[in-house]
Structure 1
Amino acid sequence: MSPRARRIATTLGALLAACVTATSAFAGGAAGAATVPYELTPSGVTSIKLTKSGADMKRIAEYWSPARLKEAQDNTPATPEVKPTGGATAAPASPTPGGTGTASPASSGAEGTAATGASKTSAAKNDTLQPVKPAPPVKKAGASGGNPITVGKVFFRHGDKDYWCSATSVASANRNLVATAAHCAYDAKQGKQAEYWIFIPGYDKGATPYGIYVGHSINLHDRFPGWGDYDYDYAFVAVHDGFRWAPGKTAGSYTMENVGSLEDNVGGQGLTVKRGIGLLTFTFGYPAAPHNDGSRPYDGRVMKRCDGRTGKRTAPARLVEYGIALTCTFTAGASGGPWLVDYDPQRALGYLNGVNSFAWDTDVNGRYDLISSPYFTASTHVVYRWAENQRAPKP
């Protein structure tokens, strides 16, 4: 069900003024909802709670049993193609169906806010936002096979199907924050949040070496759930402390073992906004779907990387108006993976400056050759600041 609209427009400290807005022809108009006062979320932020208690967290954890996770990984991903006018073909880089999922789980009891809107103009007054510094892990090394262990997969459910995307841990006050694409947490076209949302950092061929983290709250810019605006296709998801499945006392049984906070285990990437283009950027993710010509260079089981300098990416029909782009052959499954600038390969840490959003076939030869990200602005910083202070209840 669509979350009830619960929102009061206010400020986040005195940090920034109201954020930006607009419509997108891609979404076809998201389902709206009446605005009802609920919580003091800053203007421009939609915050949707996925769990209300430790019992909710356990219920979601139990849904993602080892057997179901294996099923979700083994299914072939697929992505509906989007063909804006003007030649180039684009497709959301994810989510991808991850399982047949015939079960009908109980509702996760999500609560949240809904958006209002005006025009796509920046209303931020603070042009000197300080970057958030990356945080190294407390318990583990920061890189595995040259890749950052902050990056992993998210699994979630829409309706009767399981899906997955890519994501990364971000340094935060709550030490339990994940950044991904908004469409990996919320279906703007249907006006529905994802359910049974989990994050697995350092995912590799089905392994969960640093634990599994259940989503507590999805935090978005209002323009995505309100208008399906892909210029705001980013989300910050606060998560519970992690757990791992340990063998139980009887054959085939499992028990949950607490592994502590996400940031303690894998660290967190920093965050920077309003950096322009032309920056050397590293992006990571788990591409899986075939290209339009049917070729399949990826299988989604291991993390992949692209790097290069960013440029502009716009699209006809207002699909993406202020995007940034990177030459890359990623396909569906990579969505939500981080764009990192000032990246240190030795520490596997840098500054989040975007997320994989769309894959593009710019020369229309049947293969994707470009990926795009929303441009991070002061509005992104507002959503992040709200999200980093969301704290999940203990089991």
Structure 2
Amino acid sequence: MRRHRTAAGILLAVGALLTGGLTAATAAQAATPVASPSPASASASAVAHSASAADQRTARAFWTADRMRGATPLDLHLGADALKTLKPPAPGSTTTTVAPTSFPQAGGPWTGGGAVVKTSGRVFFTFQGRTASCSGNAVTSKNASTVITAGHCVKYQGSWHTNWVFVPAYDNGQAPYGQWTASKTLTTPQWEASEDINHDIGAAVVAPLNGQTLTSVTGAQGIQFNGGYNKQMYAFGFPAASPYDGTKLIYCSGNSSKDWLFSQDHSLGCNMTGGSSGGPWFTGFNESAGTGLQVSVNSFGYVFLPNRMFGPYFGNEAKALYDKAQAS
């Protein structure tokens, strides 16, 4: 888990909790209108980084099954000072098998099936020469090739990640729907400039694979902006730090609230760990269909509030990011 210090010197477990689309059966939801931003949305455009065709070929060859299994959450790659502040999972926070209808749910394997199994996946990349992982989700888009994730899952400590791939429905080293290499990764100008945790949002445009676009294979979830706070939420991801191991799609559910401490983020009871960052948060989630409207991503936690996840509010800046990605 990443830790940041506030101006007051308080340690935060600001976490690299490293985490699509609707299937044909739920195509009606794909038509759900995206909330329009307010007129104040004339904010700075998203920042993008392109990968050449050669870079994409390198990434595709790089990620063998063994390398995917061996990739560790981004937060575990931070310095010794950050690692000293890590806390072990709280008692009782170990993984358990749960029925998908458990609500609220602090963390357990998703056994409900549905579209979310294919639209969500693990994200793999190299960060300063090390193999690392996050999570992500395929969303409905004009280019049918857009993945939403966390900002620190595309760029961190001044460096854009390389060898970036999205593996939907990841299964213990296997990629049942292929490895989708990024032709472009993007983040908000606020994250790019100062790693503002309120805008820890990223996106990737992935190249076609075998002549097909991403969401023609996986389906895509709807996405919503400026949707407000205090809603029932479902969060998904592939946590890879103890007590999890990155092999299963994990979910949390409950009534969300607004962070009353230091950020403008959503808050949700959840014990997901490193590796889940970038995984989607849904409102209006239908457990039977496995579909909802994505309104946030797994982003961070506070060291003094165990088993609580925070995710950025999808406002005008997130809308600008999404618009730039889907137009690429």
Q: Give TM-score, length-normalised by structure 1.
A: 0.62
Cα–Cα, structure 1 residues 57 and 146, in superposed 2: closer, same or farther, change >3 Å? closer
Partner of 2:190: 223
Alpha carbons 1:149, 1:266 under 8 Å: kept: yes
Across the aligned residues of Structure 1 and Structure 2, the Cα RMSD in angstroms comes to 2.7
**Offset of residue 351 of structure 1:** 0.7
Partner of 1:45: 46
Alpha carbons 1:146, 1:345 under 8 Å: kept: no
Partner of 1:275: 227
**Offset of residue 321 of structure 1:** 2.1
**Offset of residue 277 of structure 1:** 1.7
Partner of 2:237: 285
**Offset of residue 300 of structure 1:** 1.0
Partner letter of residue 187 of structure 2? L
Residue 157 of structure 2 is aligned to residue 212 of structure 1: no
Cα–Cα, structure 1 residues 76 and 231, in superposed 2: closer, same or farther, change >3 Å? closer
- Residue among 255, 261, 276 paired with 1:334: 276
Distance in 1 (CA, whole Å) between partners of 2:303 and 2:198 is 19
Cα–Cα, structure 1 residues 15 and 49, in superposed 2: closer, same or farther, change >3 Å? farther
Distance in 2 (CA, whole Å) between partners of 1:353 and 1:147 is 14
Cα–Cα, structure 1 residues 46 and 209, in superposed 2: closer, same or farther, change >3 Å? same
Q: Give TM-score, length-normalised by structure 2.
A: 0.74
Alpha carbons 1:354, 1:373 under 8 Å: kept: yes
Distance in 2 (CA, whole Å) between partners of 1:323 and 1:90 is 22
Task: State how many pairs are aligned.
Answer: 264
- Which structure ranks higher in relative contact order (CA pairs < 8 Å, sequence separation ≥ 6)? 2
Partner of 1:126: none
Partner letter of residue 218 of structure 2? V
Distance in 2 (CA, whole Å) between partners of 1:147 and 1:221 is 25
Alpha carbons 2:205, 2:326 under 8 Å: kept: yes
Distance in 2 (CA, whole Å) between partners of 1:15 and 1:185 is 28
Partner of 1:199: 166
CA deviation map 1:210-253 (0-9, x unaligned)? 111000111211010111111110111111013xxxxxxxxxxx
Long gaps (5+) in structure 2: 1-37, 89-111
Partner letter of residue 48 of structure 1? H
Partner letter of residue 42 of structure 2? A
Alpha carbons 1:16, 1:382 under 8 Å: kept: no
- Residue among 188, 207, 221 paired with 1:240: 207
Residue 214 of structure 2 is aligned to residue 262 of structure 1: yes
Counterpart mapping for 1:20-99 below 5 A: 43-51=44-52, 53=53, 55-64=54-63, 66=64, 69-74=65-70, 77=73, 78=76, 80=78
**Offset of residue 347 of structure 1:** 2.1
Residue 18 of structure 2 is aligned to residue 18 of structure 1: no
Long gaps (5+) in structure 1: 1-13, 20-42, 92-142, 243-257, 290-295, 391-395
Partner of 2:153: 184
Distance in 1 (CA, whole Å) between partners of 2:164 and 2:213 is 17
Cα–Cα, structure 1 residues 82 and 173, in superposed 2: closer, same or farther, change >3 Å? farther
**Structure with greater proportional helix content:** 2
CA deviation map 1:235-272 (0-9, x unaligned)? 11111013xxxxxxxxxxxxxxx161110111111111
Residue 294 of structure 2 is aligned to residue 352 of structure 1: yes
**Offset of residue 273 of structure 1:** 1.4
Q: Structure 1 residue runs of 4+, over 3 Å off?
A: 14-17, 74-77, 79-84, 88-91, 143-147, 360-363
CA deviation map 1:259-304 (0-9, x unaligned)? 6111011111111111222211111101121xxxxxx321111110
Alpha carbons 1:89, 1:360 under 8 Å: kept: no
| Structure number with bigger Rg | 1
